[in-house]
Amino acid sequence: MFYELYIRSFCDGNGDGIGDLVGAEQKLDYLAGLGIEGIWLLPILQSPAYHGYSVTDFFSINPIYGNLKELRSFLASAHRRDLKVILDLPINHTSPSHEWFLRALDGERPYRDWYLFLQNEDWLKARRHWDGEKVWTNYSGQWAYTLFGPGSPDLNYESTSLWQQMKEVLTFWLSVGFDGFRFDAAKHIFDFSIEKGICEYQHSRNIAFWKEMTSHCRSISPDSIFVSEVWDDARIVDLYSAIFGIGFNFPLAEDLKSAIAKKDPELLVISLKTDLNRCFRAKRSYESGLFLTNHDMSRLVSSMNGDRELSLLSMSVMLSLPGVPFFYYGEELGMEGVYNMYFNEEQLEPFLWYENGYGPGQTEWKALGKNHPHSGVSYEAQEAVDDSYYMRFRAILEFRKSNPWLRFATIKSVKRKETLIMLKVAGESKSANILHNLGTKKIAVDLNADVQVINGTVSRYRNKRYLGALASAMEVTE
């Protein structure tokens, strides 16, 4: 299991109100205590943007988060606790303030070739693949290709010297001690057709690029971990995941959340049997990056319209599936936050350590618009309180931690009976029946004595067992 950590909002180690590496290091016991095996660090490289995805120097970290010495210390402390740390690396684009881009604007080689400048007025008609946004930005009279907006001109990997440059970046961060990378925007390396002048994904060229980057890393550090971010349908996610080893399963996140929010088990059952089937069967070429939410999405409780029982059920379904689970910081507290196109970024709010919103380590860079002090959502209010959301969330994590075999298991069958989803999964030496009740009434189930409750309740009446409303349980059949 991996924890997706947004350092700016996590823990402030130097009292400036902004989360940093020193603060995050102080909280490593907290993180290890959740039972995770690793941390996905959202971008920490030098960047003027709060999100960090537009980099100004690929060889240094944002001074607001600390320095290289502090990073090394953070990594060493994480490793001492057996936690892996992967770095989110956005190499599809840079900030327009990156020196490379400024020199490119001056026409200096090789930098000029490292970005895509307008060669044909017709290209201005090109629109972004999925939402029709414009993709060219005028920088003082020079048009550059900017798929993610004016704050991030795209790098142009037609230039082979840029491939070499990026390999040096990868070598550097591996030598600092990272265990691998979450590669941002993996399907966007080649996503504009120069021949046609339109936005068009060139998946085979992207894959060739990532093959070369990942084998470069493996030649330095054979056990490197790579996770691909490809937000697309199952077939495309598949293509890339096979190269990286772990691929975020976006289709699963969407189908699982809608099945539960709509209390419609059939939706997930169909999806697991069809589109998602290939990532859970025995002969698969990668591990599914299981997740429900990330920094680009509404938080879990918000996507369940505030229903915390549905959120916990979603977590228990996710953590019963084969693959490598990821969860976003603050989800363990049940923090809220709606993602919307107006960039108020509620889902990035400070992790709420204290009930009154103040105290050592609390970050304050952003207002607590959704997760108010005195609302009972803080760590302080929930820690060690029986039945709090946090304690129940932890119990679900504990279930997964004590069943590590699920990671490599295979889904043998998926069935539905009324509101129940029934999974048969098999690992190397263990098999299990896993039941999730998406209904609001308890339901009679066939479970023997060795039942592990994942979430909710299992009760007995006469000779029958009942799985509670919105509850999950597993029976291991050695």
Q: Nearer Cβ to ligand ACG, position 370 or 465?
A: 370
The letter for the amino acid at 61 is: I
The tokens describing 349, both together, are: 């709010």
**CA gap 213, 383 in Å, rounded:** 42
Whole-number minimum distance, CB 186 to ligand ACG, in Å? 7
Give the residue carrying structure tokens 């369940």.
304
**CA gap 255, 306 in Å, rounded:** 18
φ, ψ at 113 (rounded to 5°)? -80, -10
Q: Nearer Cβ to ligand ACG, position 229 or 287?
A: 229
Whole-number minimum distance, CB 413 to ligand ACG, in Å? 26
The tokens describing 384, both together, are: 């060690």
Phi-psi bin for 286: left (phi > 0), alpha (psi -120 to 50), beta? beta
Give the residue carrying structure tokens 């380590």.
361
Q: Nearer Cβ to ligand ACG, position 232 or 331?
A: 232
Whole-number minimum distance, CB 242 to ligand ACG, in Å? 18
Angle at 138 between CA 137 and CA 143, to 5 degrees: 80
Whole-number minimum distance, CB 20 to ligand ACG, in Å? 20
Say if residues 424 and 409 touch (Cβ distance below 8 Å): no
SS3 284: coil
Q: Nearer Cβ to ligand ACG, position 267 or 451?
A: 267
Burial class (CB in 10 A: 0-12, 13-18, 19+), 26: middle
Whole-number minimum distance, CB 281 to ligand ACG, in Å? 21
Binding footprint of ligand ACG on the chain (CB under 6 A)? 51, 53-54, 90, 130, 148-149, 151-152, 184-185, 229, 231-233, 250, 254, 295-296
Query: Closest Cα to residue 43, out of 229, 247, 189, 184?
Result: 184
Q: Would you call 233 a catalytic residue per the annotation? A: no
Q: Would you call 229 a catalytic residue per the annotation? A: yes
**CA gap 21, 71 in Å, rounded:** 6
Task: Residue 2: count other Cβ atoms within 10 Å of its Cβ.
Answer: 24
Whole-number minimum distance, CB 95 to ligand ACG, in Å? 9
Bridge partners of 237, per DSSP, are none
Catalytic residue among 179, 184, 191, 346: 184
In sequence order, what are the residues at sequence separation of 6 or more whose Cβ sits closer than 8 angstroms to the Cβ of residue 80? none
Whole-number minimum distance, CB 288 to ligand ACG, in Å? 15
Catalytic residue among 229, 238, 287, 475: 229
Q: Nearer Cβ to ligand ACG, position 271 or 378?
A: 271
How, if at all, do strands 431-437 and 420-426 pair?
antiparallel
Each residue of 349-382: b (16+ CB within 10 Å) or e? bbbbbebebeeebbbebbebebbebeeebbbebb
Q: Nearer Cβ to ligand ACG, position 129 or 465?
A: 129
Angle at 407 between CA 403 and CA 410, to 5 degrees: 105
Nearest residue to ligand ACG, using CB?
53
Q: Nearer Cβ to ligand ACG, position 286 or 328?
A: 328
Give the residue carrying structure tokens 């509670």.
468
First-residue to last-residue Cα distance in the chain: 24
Whole-number minimum distance, CB 51 to ligand ACG, in Å? 5
Q: Nearer Cβ to ligand ACG, position 170 or 434?
A: 170
Q: Which residues form the catalytic set?
A: 184, 229
